[in-house]
Amino acid sequence: MELKGIDKEILQKIEESELTLENIAVSTVTELIDMIKISEKDAKKLLSAAQNELGIQPVTALQFLESERKRGKITTSSTEFDGILGGGIWTQELTEVAGGFGSGKTQLCFQLCINVQLPFDEGGLDGTAFFIDTERTFSPKRIIEMATSRGLDVESILENIYISSAVNTHHLFSIVDSLAETIQEKNVKLLIVDSFASHFRSEYIGKERLVERQQKIMQIAEELVALAVKYDLAVLVTNQIIANVEEFLFGSPEEPALGFAWAHRPQQRIFVRKSRGSSRIARLFDSSRMPEREALFYVTESGLTDAPFSSDFYT
């Protein structure tokens, strides 16, 4: 690595730390001091040099488009679902999936944990998954069913999914704060929090704690987005739903939890709901990239799919 104006000793430290230019450019001065063991003055100089080298300056829309085309996507295993998302779940952004009990949001998480391990030409990212479980919903048995039905190496699939159970919001922050090393060492390309809303809603109760709750939510949302961008991975969080007595959302008096402040954080917002039998409906209702629209998919014994055989229904 060569950076204009940076001493060879510092460049050697960078190589030993295995940091990329992208890692450096989106780091803070404090992070660089801790990671490379350099002075504050050198850290500021290094940060500026890395950003200049990568051209983190205003770009044209055409240049932005070319950069966007290079981003990875994880297939949902449903062509219709992928279609409304522009190809699947994208890296470098935060995706929210909200829905009620039995809507399929956790099943989607399981499917993505498998699919992220697939080769690029099969809709994967040839990486691993990190699953933060806040409601004790992770099921190795379900992963085995999905992987087996598709002829995949079950042991390999399970070995490439890392699970951490967050017992409260403090623990959730601690897990997220310590993820950087694991992401790099284990080639994590998918980070899931299921469910993101659970502990916040149970711990921050009452109007007097609403501001504090929103501040905490915004803080961790920023950390999740920073991880997505810095390490080129997809971040997906599930959200609960609440009653909306003022208006009907998608023909139902329900809306995603956590309020308006949170609503501006995810780059893609999806609402999933039960339909007839094992069919589910996914609605992309907030996206700067794609129009608002719906997709029909099924949750079957073999996982998510478009049109299953009648004997393949999973409930």
- DSSP states along 79-98: HHHHHHHTSSEESSEEEEEE
Q: Which position has the higher pLDDT, 295 or 252?
A: 295
Pick from 5-19, 59-73, 146-160 the range whose average pLDDT is largest: 146-160
- Residue 70 makes CB contacts below 8 A (sequence gap 6+) with none
| 40-54 and 29-36 helices, crossing angle to 10° | 110
Q: How is residue 166 written in tokens?
A: 């967050």
Q: Is the dihedral of CA 48, 71, 287, 271 positive or negative?
A: negative
pLDDT, position 248: 47
Say which range, 60-74, 233-247, 268-282, has the weakest mean pLDDT: 233-247
Q: Are 77 and 115 in contact (CB under 8 A)?
A: yes
> CA torsion angle for 76, 161, 263, 241 (degrees, to 10)?
80
Q: Are 133 and 164 in contact (CB under 8 A)?
A: yes
pLDDT in tens, 213-269: 788 888 888 889 989 988 999 999 999 877 664 554 555 567 788 777 788 889 999
pLDDT, position 251: 52
pLDDT, position 50: 82
N residues, the chain:
315
Domains and CATH numbers, the chain: 8-54 (1.10.150), 68-312 (3.40.50.300)
Strand-pairing partners, residue 284, are: 270, 293
pTM of the model: 0.78
Give the residue-averaged pLDDT of 161-187.
93
Q: Are 119 and 105 in contact (CB under 8 A)?
A: no
**Nearest one of 154, 218, 232, 142 to 188, comparing CA atoms:** 232
Cα 232 to Cα 190, 227, 241: the distances in Å are 9, 8, 29
Per-residue confidence band for 57, with pLDDT thresholds at 50, 70 and 90: low
pLDDT, position 110: 98
Q: Is 166 helix (H, G, I), strand (E, B) or coil?
A: coil
**Nearest one of 179, 160, 68, 166 to 112, comparing CA atoms:** 160
Q: Is the pLDDT of residue 23 over 80?
A: no
Q: How is residue 32 written in tokens?
A: 């660089």
The single-letter code of the amino acid at 40 is E
pLDDT, position 26: 77
Strand-pairing partners, residue 296, are: 281
Say which range, 47-61, 63-77, 198-212, has the weakest mean pLDDT: 47-61
pLDDT in tens, 72-116: 999 999 999 999 999 999 999 999 999 988 899 999 999 999 999
Q: How is residue 253 written in tokens?
A: 């008096």
Mean pLDDT for the chain? 87
Q: Which position has the higher pLDDT, 198 or 165?
A: 165
> With pLDDT > 90 as the criterion, what percentage of the chain qualifies?
50
Per-residue confidence band for 311, with pLDDT thresholds at 50, 70 and 90: very low
Distance in Å from the first CA to the final CA of the chain: 53
**Nearest one of 249, 293, 237, 299 to 86, comparing CA atoms:** 293
